[in-house]
Structure 1
Amino acid sequence: MTGPLGVAIVGCGNISHQYLGNLASFPGVRVVACADLDRARAEEVAARYGVPTAAAPEEAISHPDVELVINLTVPSAHAEVALAAVLAGRHVYNEKPFTVDRESGAELVEAAASAGVLLGSAPDTFLGAGLQTAARLVAEGAIGTPLTALTLFQSPGPESWHPSPEFFFQPGAGPLFDMGPYYLTALVTLFGPAERVAAVGRRARDERVIGSGPRAGTRFPAVVPTHTTALLEFAAGQAATMIFSFDSPLRRAGFIEITGTEATMRVPDPNTFGGEVRLRRTGDEEWVPAPTTGTEAGRGLGVLDMAQAIREGRAHRATGELGLHVLDTMIAVAESAERAEFVKIASTCPVPAPLPEGWDPAEIRFG
């Protein structure tokens, strides 16, 4: 087939606006349907972005012009919606997390392979200029042999600003599962797959208090660890120390440092598509910025790369295997913290190839 790839958005919550705003600027894709269990919401979002069809999820999946389904439903529905799309012969791109458990994730990967369709997963921030530049520098030997990484995400917790923060403190969430996909995806694209992990988890208090909105002052239970420290060992030999916390008065987000035999590299926030890469070589007294090249077009880059892969018959980069490996690693971190022992990570994934120099979403057209 030629021409823009037809896509459907399934799940018209807040994140859909980021996707729809960006996808409208990519000539390689065309959003032909918006779907949601709340049809009125689907109609509202479709009208806002000029999408011709508003539908129920099953109607969007079966729409004759839809080749790829962008699954933006709540995490607990990711596997069900994605599997329905795969069985209908549609390619699928899931928001993070890939699914909520290893079993459904593995079933989905196997089903896509059997159906001959591509499966993708957020986050796709590693396709942005910041992390692409970092990956090229590592591959070129700018820091020597990569040895270790340190990542930090620390905050007092989302209840201070979010009007309905309870879900952040329930199973499948917490700082590990909420922010872990960004940091782990960045490290896997730089180091390759993880192999084993040791971790500890803590919960500063059993109750939290909503700090803003009409329910300010309301208490609610926190049932998952709100601070996790993990030590990861990668298959290629590197090690990483990672902290995810909702218990810190000191806010530190987007902190990633990669240490090699010749230099240390400070990597941009993995929850963004741009940012500055800085190097500090042995003997340097200051950080030295590295020229950053690539696109900062935002969420949807993984979808566009998938569209190009579909049209060209090649592999894409934000794969389901990568999403499943990151999910498997997060679950292993949680298991290690609970068991107080190292946990092996059974899954693996291919390391995404770098984007071509000059890859520009505004220039990608098919036919």
Structure 2
Amino acid sequence: MAIVGTGYVADLYMRSRDLHPDIEVVGAFDIREGRLAAFCRHWGLRPFASLAEVLDALPGEGIVLNLTNPDAHYAVTRASLEAGRHVYSEKPLAMDLAQAQDLVNLARSRGRLLGGAPCSYLSEAAQTLAAATRAGVCGPVRLVYAELDDGYIPQAPHQKWLSESGAPWPYENEMRTGCTLEHAGYVLSWLVAMFGSIHSITAFSAATIDKGLEGGCTVPDMSIGILKFRAGQVVRLTCSIVAPHDHRLLMTGDKGTLEVRDTWDNSAKVRFRRRFVMRRRLMEAPLPRRIRLAEGPARRRARRRGSASMDFLLGAEEMFRFLHEGDTNRCDDRLALHVTEAALHLQNAGEASETYMMQTACDPLPALGWAQKLR
């Protein structure tokens, strides 16, 4: 694997390298020479002088890890696919659906793999929740509340947020890209992996706060979406950089509720509250039962970094596993494209959105080998 783009998020991927000793990072490239030098010096990597040099250095089954700014995702991924390389891209695949679909079509025509972040749906927490829904722990899932609020970010000391190799958190780029496009995928990927295709979305998005950027910024800093899945589930998804930090996911079914308190924690606990009647009252159990898998992943757990405890290389690992073992690729272009389409609509819905009918589709994903059964 080779890294293209050595900004803040690249260090998060490199921190996960110790969890995946079979993955070799052959080097990195960035158009900013100083940033590239600092990153490669910190991690002991070879600096490449150009994207072309990266593509020449990668073996035939190597993967380009596209960690550039969102505006550059399309061009870098397209060049890599045209050179016959597999690509794993940070979110989103592209900044509009037509470009994302073009990349998928190109990857398929060249027989190359194209995967996209986020990959936390491959985590222990997400796989446990999926196993619980398949087993009917809470009964058929009817309604899901998902929160992705990150606090009042413009007032946070983000100027002090530095990666391990010294890259500043890209505040302006994050604000101008939009928090929904940056973050909604963390929940969308979980839900699509579990339930399959989204049928329709009714959404609202708006700019509610001054982000302190020169020239202003009217990119929405909050969104609320109602998603109807083809399998019948209804989801309310909220995303903002305004409301207090909250990354909870709550599923309501006929028998009770399943809850994950922090979807940015790969090993977060999955809890079930049974619903019952006591005298004349309908209640959920005050003491939840923890749901566990019969076995868990063999690797060590990811360490916490800032507000997240995530293994950023799970997606690349899944692509490598498929390349070497075949079977099912759980990090394929259908999921990345469907999640990109949904996030783009949620971000860009505006204040007078009509119901949007999804154009792409994705089947539910099979469980990982170690996540087949509950205790």
| Same fold (TM > 0.5) | yes
Cα deviation digits, residues 78-124 of structure 1 (max 9, x gap): 11111111111111100111211101100100111011111111101
Matched-pair contact (CA < 8 Å) for 1:335–1:343: no
Q: 1:268 to 1:133 in 2, by over 3 A?
A: farther
Q: Distance in 2 between matches of 1:312 and 1:60?
A: 25
Structure 1, unpaired ranges of 5+: 1-6, 210-217, 360-367
| Deviation larger for 49-58 or 63-72 | 49-58
Q: Distance in 1 between matches of 2:15 and 2:97?
A: 32
Paired residues for 1:74-85 under 5 Å? 74-85=69-80
User: Is 1:17 aligned with 2:11?
Assistant: yes
Q: 1:36 to 1:24 in 2, by over 3 A?
A: farther
Structure 2, unpaired ranges of 5+: 160-169, 277-284, 303-310
Q: Distance in 2 between matches of 1:168 and 1:157?
A: 14
Report how many residues are paired. 340
Paired residues for 1:241-320 under 5 Å? 241-248=236-243, 251-283=244-276, 284-291=285-292, 293-294=296-297, 296-297=301-302, 298-320=311-333
Q: 1:121 to 1:131 in 2, by over 3 A?
A: same
Q: Distance in 1 between matches of 2:21 and 2:45?
A: 15
Q: Secondary structure at the match of 1:27?
A: coil
2:154 maps to which residue? 159
RMSD across aligned positions (CA): 2.2
TM-score under structure 2 length normalisation: 0.84
2:185 maps to which residue? 181
Q: Distance in 1 between matches of 2:150 and 2:92?
A: 21
Amino acid at match of 1:290: I
Aligned partner of 1:62 among 37, 56, 59: 56
**Cα offset for 1:136?**
0.8
User: Is 1:196 aligned with 2:189?
Assistant: no
**Cα offset for 1:176?**
1.5
Extract structure 1 runs of 4+ deviating beyond 4 A. none
User: Is 1:208 aligned with 2:176?
Assistant: no
Q: Secondary structure at the match of 2:16?
A: helix
Aligned partner of 1:110 among 91, 105, 116: 105
Q: Distance in 2 between matches of 1:20 and 1:92?
A: 17
Matched-pair contact (CA < 8 Å) for 2:146–2:236: yes
Amino acid at match of 1:306: M
Q: Distance in 2 between matches of 1:70 and 1:203?
A: 32
Matched-pair contact (CA < 8 Å) for 1:332–1:344: no
Q: Distance in 1 between matches of 2:47 and 2:214?
A: 41
Matched-pair contact (CA < 8 Å) for 1:98–1:320: no
**Cα offset for 1:31?**
0.9
Q: Secondary structure at the match of 1:98?
A: coil
Amino acid at match of 2:227: L
TM-score under structure 1 length normalisation: 0.86
Q: Distance in 2 between matches of 1:53 and 1:332?
A: 37
**Cα offset for 1:350?**
2.9
Matched-pair contact (CA < 8 Å) for 2:189–2:339: yes
User: Is 1:331 aligned with 2:332?
Assistant: no
User: Is 1:28 aligned with 2:22?
Assistant: yes
Aligned partner of 1:344 among 336, 350, 357: 357
